[in-house]
């Protein structure tokens, strides 16, 4: 009887711990780390079923007294991304899709004008798009991705021969630092306790030196998408 109970408890423990299952299956260390990550931020099934997210964050810069709000819409099926940034004397729309990377800002009369990529938009693209996009691609086992263990034991994700994202995990499997491309500094992030439909996002993200900080205010998951969101606004020639 005691042996039966012990066997049941051992089996239950493995069932509750996906990392133990993968270890038993002799999967690679990187695959096990990816599984720990996915289960810590929701689970592989919920991230694999993700079609879109819309989240709003309040953002601050060390050298700029004006904070801005950013509504970021990610369509995981296309894939494509829209970033709406607003603040005092600031209004920008950015679309990233198969047609490239396009940015507009609006003057005080609300007229759209073509704008060059600025530092804020670059930060937004890097730290709020690729790291989340990549999580969803890991969840669906995108065959174009390759997982490796990088320095300090972090999970690194490659497409072809290019690193596109990395995640440094804590003891629970949650990322406490992450970055994209060739940026080895990345951002640090708070607990992943903002949850909608099983998907978890970090409550805050920040550059390690505090030069850019963002607090997540709201999150929506798998909402009905309006195609107009990804329509190019009329651009003023003035």
Confidence (pLDDT) at 12: 43
17-69 per-position pLDDT tens digit: 555 554 546 789 999 999 999 999 999 999 999 999 999 999 999 998 889 99
Instruction: Please report the pLDDT score of residue 144 as a whole number.
Output: 93
pLDDT at site 168: 98
SS3 category, 141: coil
Lowest mean pLDDT among 6-15, 149-158, 184-193: 6-15
What lies within 8 Å, CB to CB, of 166 at 6+ separation is: 150, 154, 155, 156, 157, 178, 179, 180, 186
Q: What is the pLDDT of residues 28-37, one digit of tens each?
A: 999 999 999 9
Rounded CA separation 102/105 (Å) = 11
Whole-prediction pTM value?
0.79
Asked if residue 135 lies in contact with residue 169, where contact means CB atoms within 8 angstroms, the answer is no
Enumerate domains of the chain plus CATH numbers.
29-230 (2.50.20)
pLDDT tens, residue by residue, 184-199: 999 999 999 999 999 9
Average pLDDT value for residue range 133-153: 95
16, pLDDT greater than 80: no
């Amino acid at each position: 009887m005691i042996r039966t109970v012990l066997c049941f408890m051992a089996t239950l423990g493995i069932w509750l711990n996906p990392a133990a299952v993968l270890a038993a299956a002799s999967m690679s260390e990187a695959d096990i780390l990816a599984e720990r990550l996915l289960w810590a931020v929701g689970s592989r099934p919920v991230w694999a079923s993700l079609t879109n997210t819309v989240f709003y964050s309040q953002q601050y810069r060390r050298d700029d007294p004006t904070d801005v709000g950013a509504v970021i819409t990610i369509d995981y099926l296309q894939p494509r991304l829209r970033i709406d940034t607003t603040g005092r004397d600031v209004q920008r729309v950015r679309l990233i899709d198969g047609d490239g990377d396009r940015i507009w800002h609006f003057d005080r009369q609300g007229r759209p004008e073509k704008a060059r990529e600025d530092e804020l938009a670059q930060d937004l693209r890097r730290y709020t798009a690729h790291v989340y996009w990549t999580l969803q691609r890991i969840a669906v086992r995108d065959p174009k991705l390759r997982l490796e263990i990088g320095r300090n034991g972090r999970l690194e994700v490659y497409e072809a021969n290019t690193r596109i994202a990395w995640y440094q995990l804590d003891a629970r499997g949650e990322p406490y630092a992450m970055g994209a491309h060739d940026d080895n500094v990345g951002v640090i992030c708070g607990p992943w306790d903002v949850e909608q439909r099983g998907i978890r996002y970090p409550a805050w993200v920040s550059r390690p030196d505090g030069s850019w900080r963002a607090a997540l205010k709201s999150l929506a998951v798998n909402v009905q998408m309006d195609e107009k969101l990804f329509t190019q606004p009329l651009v003023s020639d003035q």
